[in-house]
């Protein structure tokens, strides 16, 4: 488990991370969402032991990360701008990481290089941005660490490659309980992979919740009410969003599905159905209640 307690980092007069408290459970995908400058990269660099917190602490499996060489063998960090040895080839990087990570799987590395159509003896400095990202993911997966930190890892990958990388993560989560922590400015990229999402804004976590919990507590309903009945007449419903097109209403309602259904049925609507909510819609609903416009934050 990774736990941040009062985690704070300043650069001069700028507070990049401001007293963050977060807990990341093993075997889950934690998505860290926020605009550029929200503090995502700084958080990951402190989690990776690259930066020392000014206040608070961040621990992995109960131990402080900074200057803990043994603990750093438990995670692989993929930065937004990956670093490779000068004039190195993929084969060279595999040899390098084999010295750092004792469980590095060279056989799987060669297999994945072939699957991604990356030449093992080609100079990495001739790779495109997307190819470098693919190589970083392959190196990270084959290092067989418990955690993998990804800073804008999907940026630069085409849609097919994004799904391929997500499939790799899902496979290793199932087989060896891998825990990916993925930072991104794009909410939609993480919708189909994350178990828990934290929204980072101005250095602090604005919202941090399990997706399943959020989906169980917020629902979207399309309905046609009886003539003369308006949304404000629906007593017993916690309506947090209303959209009307002709007689068709789209309501975003907070509460349990069974309770919402029972209340709506008591008003004998002409028609109603529950619709699935996207991660974007859930976050819009949650942040609007808190007085924020998520569209200005991450979309």
Question: DSSP of 115-139, one letter per residue?
Answer: HTT--TTS-GGGS-HHHHHHHHHHH
Of the spans 105-119, 194-208, 247-261, 281-295, which averages the highest pLDDT?
105-119
Nearest residue to 252 via CA among 282, 216, 287, 279: 282
- What share of the chain in percent tops pLDDT 70? 95
pLDDT at 191 (0 to 100): 76
Listed ranges 95-104, 178-187, 207-216; the one with the highest mean pLDDT: 95-104
Q: Is the pLDDT of residue 107 over 90?
A: yes
pLDDT value, residue 42? 94
pLDDT in the model for residue 201? 80
Q: Which residues pair with 64 in a beta bridge?
A: 59
Residue 139 CB neighbour total at 10 angstroms: 22
Q: What is the overall mean pLDDT for the chain?
A: 89
Alpha-carbon distance of 136 to 156, in angstroms, equals: 12
**pLDDT at 290 exceeding the cut of 60:** no
In the chain, residues under CATH classification 3.30.70 are 213-297
In the CATH hierarchy, which fold is given to the domain comprising 213-297?
Answer: Alpha-Beta Plaits (3.30.70)
Top pLDDT among 35 and 57 is at 57
Sheet containing strand 218-224, strands side by side: 238-245, 248-254, 218-224, 271-275
Query: Is residue 287 scored above 70 in pLDDT?
Result: no
Domain with CATH 3.40.50.300 in the chain: 2-202
What's this model's pTM, rounded to 2 decimal places? 0.80
Give 185's pLDDT tier (boundaries 50, 70, 90). confident
Q: Which fold has domain 2-202?
A: Rossmann fold (3.40.50)
What is the pLDDT at residue 33?
85
pLDDT of residue 288: 60
pLDDT band at 297 (very low <50, low <70, confident <90, very high): low
pLDDT range class, residue 248, cuts 50, 70, 90: very high
The pLDDT of 170-174, averaged and rounded, is 94
């Amino acid at each position: 488990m990774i736990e941040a307690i009062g985690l704070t980092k300043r650069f001069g007069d700028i507070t990049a991370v401001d007293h963050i408290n977060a807990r990341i459970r093993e075997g889950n995908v934690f998505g860290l969402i926020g605009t550029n400058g929200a503090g995502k990269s700084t958080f990951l660099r402190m989690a990776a032991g690259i930066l020392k917190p000014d206040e608070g602490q961040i621990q992995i499996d109960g131990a402080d990360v900074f200057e803990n060489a043994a603990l750093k063998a438990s995670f692989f960090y993929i930065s937004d701008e990956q670093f490779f040895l000068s004039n190195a080839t993929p084969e060279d990087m595999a040899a390098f990481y084999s010295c750092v990570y004792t469980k590095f799987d060279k056989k799987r590395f060669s297999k994945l290089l072939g699957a991604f159509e990356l030449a093992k003896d080609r100079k990495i400095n001739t790779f495109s941005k997307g190819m470098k990202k693919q190589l970083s993911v392959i190196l990270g997966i084959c290092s067989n660490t418990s955690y993998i930190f990804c800073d804008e890892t999907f940026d630069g990958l085409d849609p097919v490659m994004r799904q391929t990388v997500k499939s790799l993560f899902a496979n290793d989560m199932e087989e060896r309980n891998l825990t990916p922590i993925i930072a991104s400015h794009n909410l939609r990229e993480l919708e189909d992979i994350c178990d828990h999402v934290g929204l980072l804004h101005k250095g602090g976590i604005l919202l941090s919740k399990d997706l399943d919990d959020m989906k169980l507590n917020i629902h979207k309903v399309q309905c046609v009410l009886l003539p003369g009945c308006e949304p404000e007449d629906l007593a017993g419903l916690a309506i947090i969003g209303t959209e009307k097109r002709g007689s068709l209403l789209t309501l975003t309602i907070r509460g349990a599905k069974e309770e919402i259904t029972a209340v709506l049925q008591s008003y004998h609507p002409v028609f109603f159905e529950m619709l699935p909510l996207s991660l974007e819609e859930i976050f819009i609903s949650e942040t609007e209640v808190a007085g924020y416009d998520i569209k200005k934050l991450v979309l």
